[in-house]
Amino acid sequence: SINRALETVPDNEPFCYFGKDVVFDSAWLTYAELCFNKHYPTGLGLISFKDDIVDGGNASHGMTTKRWLEVLYGYNHFPLDYFHWFCDSELTVRSKDFGRYTFCADSYVAHKHEPSGHTGKPNQPDDYLTQNARHVEWANGGKREAEARLRAIQ
């Protein structure tokens, strides 16, 4: 769903992604924009919000740009390999590897963490296997490729 929505977003325009189980504080976006623009004026990074669950450990909900996704993945959308878990974790880890991840504690979005409703479906990918395979790919040349993409656009 997020990737379909991203088709209309300009590459350098910050966008946010969320699950269906968050409640937004009235000033969350103001603080998020201030934080993002302060740390990543070129749009090359990731911020997460205070959510009372992860609080900076992972960008379960975050703000970034398609341009940053292009650096990290080689394409300007989220990976299509995952069924439900770890896409946000992978984005966080890769952003941290570049020193381009910031926890924006002033931007508050309460994460109510409802049950996902997902059940095991035999024709769906195993996200644990996907996560491991993508980690190996990152460690064995993927990060170097991303570094080259970052150098080319700076």
Predicted TM-score (pTM) of the model is: 0.88
Digit-by-digit pLDDT tens for the chain (154 residues) are 888 989 999 999 999 998 788 889 999 999 999 999 999 999 999 999 999 888 888 898 999 999 999 999 999 999 988 776 788 899 999 999 999 999 999 999 988 875 555 555 545 668 888 888 889 999 999 999 999 999 999 8
- Per-residue model confidence (pLDDT) at position 116: 54
Q: How many CB atoms lie within 10 A of CB 89?
A: 17
Q: At what angle do helices 87-97 and 127-137 cross, to 10 degrees?
A: 20
For residues 102 and 45, what is the distance between their CA atoms, to the nearest angstrom? 8
For residues 150 and 148, what is the distance between their CA atoms, to the nearest angstrom? 5
Range 50-54, long-range pairs (CB < 8 A, 24+ positions): 50/103, 50/104, 50/105, 50/106, 50/107, 50/108, 50/109, 51/22, 51/108, 51/109, 51/110, 51/111, 52/110, 52/111, 53/111, 53/113, 54/111
- Per-residue model confidence (pLDDT) at position 118: 52
